[in-house]
Amino acid sequence: MTRQHHPLGRLAARIARTFGGEAGAGILLIAVALAAILAANSPLAHAYHQLFHGTLPWSPIAKLNTLHLWINDALMALFFFVVGLEIKREVLDGELSRPDRRRLPVMAAAAGMAVPALIYIAIAGGTAGLSRGWAIPAATDIAFALGVLALIGKRAPASLRLFLLTVAIVDDLGAVAIIALFYTSTLKLGWLAFAAALLAGLAALNRMGITRAWPYVLLGGVLWFAVLHSGVHATVAGVLAALTVPMKLDRGGDSLLLRMEHAMAPLSAYLIVPLFGFANAGVALGGISLAAIASPLPLGIALGLFLGKQAGILGTIWAAHRLRLAQLPSSATWPQLWGMALLCGIGFTMSLFIAQLGFPTSPELVEEAKLGVLLGSLASALGGYLVLRFSARPA
């Protein structure tokens, strides 16, 4: 059964049509962010926070005793599963499969993560307790950035979208590695060994040529449960499980990986990510002043996203071009490349997620981090849109 005729495939296509593709995903994220901010600054503020952070009367997993934890540790594992599927497809048969194609976006993505982190450290690293937030401005929100680019339409060359997508995918891979390496609590070796055995089982299914979904879903769910209790953040299980899903094409040119990605990508973009955004973007604006915005944590994040991303990415593209290390995206002008680099400063989903991991015991710092993420992402989105809008060639 092909992706188009599979029931989940038909559902995915219907969801994508309903929301208007990439532009719709970006607009939906903007809408839920605004809704969360309005809820957090209205008479509904207490109900909003109680909904997500209040202790549930019952939970099948004691470790996840709030709706916020279910969203961040369980639903976001599905988001990372989709990210893992996308990364594997691109590495095996996409823009990351050939050295000449991946060289420039990989270099740009690496610099686009390093420079924001350095700016954050320069501004906030010297303040006690803030150094753990260094990775917050290093992330890029794929859906948000591509959604804003989609608003430009055909006036931006297709190569620009492809380059942005590739940079964002490499950025996501870097973010997953950062979460696994730097935001891991005390390891529990028993659970970790159990997770390793489950991962080996998933790899064995792939080696045996199993192409039915349910064994991967079953073992993947148990793997997530084991990783949740191992000390490694549970979302890493999503990426690890995705990397074991078979990519080999059948006689009809289809594969289990393509079917899963086709079915789950719209559900992730239009349900999981917006729900995460609504649960995490609510910032109480009462009492916020210029002094508060200029404090080290929000200022370091905002400037890291807005200045660091464009400086790292555009600077790397310019240097690679001057040194003849890689070719520029075809038909893209320098102003358009600048606009694309600005869009990479939209951190939203991943930045908010890392903020929760960076300051797990300090709600006050998380709120400050959210403010920096929203300010930096908003400035990057508006700046990128305006640069692309006025540099775009007529359709």
- The per-residue pLDDT for range 79-111, each reduced to its tens digit, is 999 989 998 998 898 877 888 778 999 999 999
Nearest Cα to Cα of residue 21 among 171, 157, 146: 146
Cβ 216 vs Cβ 202: under 8 Å: yes
Question: Could you tell me the pLDDT band of residue 14, with boundaries at 50, 70 and 90?
Answer: low
Residue 35 has pLDDT above 60, yes or no: yes
Residue 175 has pLDDT above 60, yes or no: yes
Burial class of residue 229 in the structure, from the number of CB atoms within 10 Å of its CB (0-12 exposed, 13-18 middle, 19+ buried): middle
Tokens of 352: 């908010």
Q: What is the CATH number of domain 63-391?
A: 1.20.1530.10
Residue 189 has pLDDT above 80, yes or no: yes
Nearest Cα to Cα of residue 26 among 394, 310, 382, 264: 382
Q: Which helix (H) or strand (E) holds 228?
A: helix 213-228
Residues, the chain, total?
A: 395
Query: What's the sign of the alpha-carbon dihedral 20, 23, 25, 29?
Result: negative
- The per-residue pLDDT for range 135-165, each reduced to its tens digit, is 999 989 887 888 888 888 777 888 898 899 8
Residue 394 has pLDDT above 70, yes or no: no
Tokens of 237: 């299980």
DSSP label at residue 186: S
**In a 3-state reduction of DSSP, which class is residue 2?**
coil
- The per-residue pLDDT for range 210-244, each reduced to its tens digit, is 999 999 999 999 999 999 999 998 999 999 999 99
How confident is the model at residue 119, as a pLDDT?
98
How confident is the model at residue 22, as a pLDDT?
60
Query: What's the sign of the alpha-carbon dihedral 37, 361, 225, 142?
Result: positive
Domain boundaries, the chain: 63-391
Helix axes 76-93, 273-280, angle to 10 degrees: 130
Question: How many Å apart are CA 304 and CA 299, to the nearest integer?
Answer: 8
How confident is the model at residue 386, as a pLDDT?
95
Within 13 Å of residue 361, how many CA atoms lie on the same side as its CB?
3
Torsions phi, psi of 226, nearest 5?
Answer: -70, -45
Nearest Cα to Cα of residue 167 among 22, 322, 309, 270: 309
DSSP label at residue 56: P
Question: Could you tell me the pLDDT band of residue 307, with boundaries at 50, 70 and 90?
Answer: very high
